A = this chain, B = another copy of it.
Amino acid sequence: MDNKQRALAAATAAVLCGSAGAAPDAGALRQVAPALAHYNEHLLLGEVWQRPELSPRERSIVTLAALIAKNQPQQLPPYLEQALDNGVKPGEIAEIITHLAFYSGWPNAMTAVQAAQPVFAARHIDSAQLPSAEVALLALDEQAEAARASMVQQNFGEVAPGVVQYTTEALFRQLWLRPGLAPRDRSMVTVSALVASGQAAQIGYHLDRAMDNGLQQAQASEMLTQLAFYAGWPPVFSAMPVFKEVFTKRTTERKE
């Protein structure tokens, strides 16, 4: 395509497919939903994003995870830009997408790659700056992993042997040990995806793991505030009893 064609193609997609940005331009938003424009400016951007319980970088990680888990590629590009501006490294974005291939499905990750490709290209980010497929893995806590694997094998080894096999081989002995995304951040991505996609039954294990990985309770709580806006109130209300249970259990265990 020549430049004129490229511009036309971009305009076409931007206008008609919604690839233009995280938000419609401010004019369109005010033209269709003036109250939402107001909430967007004053409540979400002006207040929620400024709350000190999570840094802008952490809010970007939570938001990207929610957008990928809910498969919303139209909204991704500006949030990817913002994430890079907020200090999320390109290699961390690559790891977030790879992680969510497993935790929200291959198609969501592939669609996210398509959304990220022009953002990376425009910033001259190439694969040399990203973690390789083969990297030296973080040390594994063999005892904890053996306990986890044994529990899952006992529960589901005969029900779904393939799932159990890849849970061990691909997830817990590879993906989680890749050093390009800190374990705490990997846990934030996982928990955010679980909350956003309404997978309440899977939150308990991963929130507990997140806090083992260094996530503070106040940070976990504030993830719910961010997710209420980016995934909606209902899945957050369904997640709150699980968060409460995990917080209570950990407090009780600490006291004993």
Contacts and interface: CB of A to CB of B under 8 A. Distances in A.
A62 B159 CA distance: 18
Contacts of A171: 233
B221 A18 contact: no
Nearest to A180: B35
Interface in A22-56: 22-24, 28-40, 43-44, 48, 51, 53
Contact of A106 (B170, B229, B244): B229
B111 A18 contact: yes
How many copies of this chain sit in the oligomeric assembly?
A: 3
A101 interface: yes
A165 to B, nearest CB: 8
Q: Say whether chain A's binding surface is mostly helix, strand, loop, or mixed.
A: helix
B230 A74 contact: no
Contact of A97 (B36, B115, B166, B178): B36
A197 interface: yes
Chain A interface size, under 10 / 10 to 19 / 20 to 34 / 35 or more: 35 or more
Contacts of A117: 24, 28, 31-32
A212 B233 CA distance: 21
B113 A28 contact: yes
6 contacts: A1-B11, A32-B94, A34-B130, A34-B131, A104-B234, A160-B224
Given A9-B12, A18-B111, A35-B132, 6 more contacts: A34-B127, A36-B97, A39-B101, A103-B232, A104-B232, A155-B244
